[in-house]
Amino acid sequence: MTKKISYSLIAIAIIAIVIILTIQQKYKYGFIDKTGKIVVKAKFGYLNPSKYGEGLWGVANGGKYGFINAKGEFVIKPQYDLSTGFIGGVAAVKKGEKWGYIDKTGKEVCPIVYDKVDVLVHSPMCMLQKDKKYGLFNRQTNTFIDLKTDKPIFFEPNKPIAPFVKNGLYGFVNRQGKVLIQPTYDKVTFFYDGLARVEKAGFYGFVNRQGKEVIPAKLKNVYTFSGGLAALKKDSLYGFMDTTGKMVVNPQFTNVAGSFAEGLQAVQKDKLYGLMDTTGKVVIDYQFDKVEDFYKGIGLVKKGGYWGAIDKTGKLLMPAQYDKLKVLTTQLLSFEKDKKTGLIDIKGKEILNTPQAYRFALLQPEILVVTLNDKHGIMDTHGKMITPPQFDKAPQKVGNVYFAPQGERYAILDSMGKKISDTIYSTHQDEAKEGLIYVEKLGKYGFVDTQGRLVIDCQYNLAYPFSEGLAVVKKGDKYGYIDKNGKVVIPIKYAQAFSFQDGIAIFRHEYWGW
């Protein structure tokens, strides 16, 4: 009995292998051009469109990955267990359990010895991990930063140096892999005004972007820089120093709040706040219980338990009589007062005052999202309701229109927030491609333009974004291509098809047959 079961299992396994091999034989990919002409016959086991990059396609044959050109010729023979597309001249590849990078000739520019690497990286700096330690590979210069750090190293965009941590201590390294400051600090911050605060044994100092410690780590209770100054506490009072470490505003404040915003910093004396400019001069006298950072030229100030607003000269824009205030634009604020909400301009004129518990947010210069009971609508900045609150989330802009979700479907709003379609679409493209956006209605796909007009009827089982003037569409179980007028320009006959890139597209003729 046991032997019969064993033989049966072996027979099932053999049948499964035969089926898989048969499927693999049928499952072949090639290239077509924009006329539908086959430029590379369907002969590859797998062509991955996401592995396209810089003129080469990742292809799998016999369970291994390599790269071909647009003629279907192998540039890099199949030899890898996994691969990414080329970005910046390099691709990540995997052999066994290890990763590395190759160039477009197949040369290993970073040895295949790492446990993890960045596989979808658009930064020149690629993360490497080996034995739970980290380094970097610069794909522009093919150089290593093999520091064996405790955590990944992240360079800010266009910044020449970055902090790293090794054995629990922080240092700084440049993009060429040169350690500018050895790991000696307990903590570091990001750069503000060109300086990063560093901590060592409970004391603080600052380093510049060249990695030089310009202010020695001998300070206590110092803030990061803002507006060219850093708040420093001495003997229970705050003063300010400049970027050389020189005290330019003597300690005299009992507290500081926020940071320099639009050239002003909130400082406190005798429990009241005033505002200081970057020269250290208090230009708006101490009179407020609380001050928010200036935004769009408006400062929110609290006095006697209520909020008001001032301009940068200290001129009162609206008296402190509101429970809440929010700056929306340079000319407009929202308020809450006596269980009412509304809009008010900077001259103090109430534009809207309603018992409805609205919340307001700016969507675009003349348009607001208004929220009531977790439903979202659209109002203009003059207080006119354009579309009452009814949507589950704030509308998402795509092209020149907005898609607003309601239940499992979307309505389309025009650029001013007016509803131009019923809530009929169950999905949509996240961004317009070549002036068109795919939409789905009752299980069928079509396209609207950036004004929300339906230009290609919802008739396809599936659609992809336009690329190089053509879009992949599916009818039944076959794929083809349409132009922007909705005309089928490459017949809907393929078992699978992908978007055009550089004038060619991947197709598959045979179907799985299941």
Query: So what's the pLDDT on residue 7?
Result: 43
Query: So what's the pLDDT on residue 15?
Result: 46
Is residue 443 one of the residues assigned to a domain? Answer: yes
Query: Which string of b and e fits 266-287 if b means at least 16 CB within 10 Å?
Result: bbbeeebbbbbebebebebeee
pLDDT(514) > 70: no
- pTM value is 0.80
Under a CB-based contact definition with an 8 Å cutoff, are residues 164 and 133 in contact? no
More confident residue, 158 or 393: 393
Is residue 36 one of the residues assigned to a domain? Answer: yes
pLDDT(78) > 60: yes
Query: So what's the pLDDT on residue 26?
Result: 57
Under a CB-based contact definition with an 8 Å cutoff, are residues 403 and 422 in contact? no
Name the pLDDT band for 23 (thresholds 50, 70, 90): very low
Q: pLDDT for 485-510, tens place per residue?
A: 999 999 999 999 999 988 999 998 75
What integer is the mean pLDDT of 151-180?
Answer: 88
What integer is the mean pLDDT of 217-228?
Answer: 94
Is residue 204 one of the residues assigned to a domain? Answer: no
pLDDT(1) > 90: no
Is residue 484 one of the residues assigned to a domain? Answer: yes
Name the pLDDT band for 118 (thresholds 50, 70, 90): confident
Q: pLDDT for 185-201, tens place per residue?
A: 999 998 999 999 999 99
Is residue 11 one of the residues assigned to a domain? Answer: yes
3-state secondary structure at position 208: strand
Q: Which domain holds residue 443?
A: 1-44+426-513
Is residue 126 one of the residues assigned to a domain? Answer: no
Under a CB-based contact definition with an 8 Å cutoff, are residues 485 and 499 in contact? no
Q: What is the mean pLDDT of the chain?
A: 89
Q: State the total domains in the chain.
A: 1
The string of DSSP letters for 358-384 reads -EEEEEETTEEEEEETTEEEEEETTS-
- Report the C-alpha dihedral over residues 319, 321, 325, 328, rounded to 10 degrees: -40
- CA terminus-to-terminus distance, the chain: 34
Q: How many CA atoms lie within 13 A of 85 on its CB side?
A: 15
Q: How far apart, in whole angstroms, are the C-alpha atoms of residue 452 and residue 34?
A: 28
3-state secondary structure at position 3: helix
pLDDT(257) > 50: yes
Q: pLDDT for 34-61, tens place per residue?
A: 999 999 998 887 777 765 678 898 888 8
Is residue 475 one of the residues assigned to a domain? Answer: yes
Query: Which stretches within 304-361 are classed as H helix?
Result: none
Q: pLDDT for 448-478, tens place per residue?
A: 999 999 999 999 999 999 999 999 999 999 9
What integer is the mean pLDDT of 59-84?
Answer: 91
Is residue 6 one of the residues assigned to a domain? Answer: yes
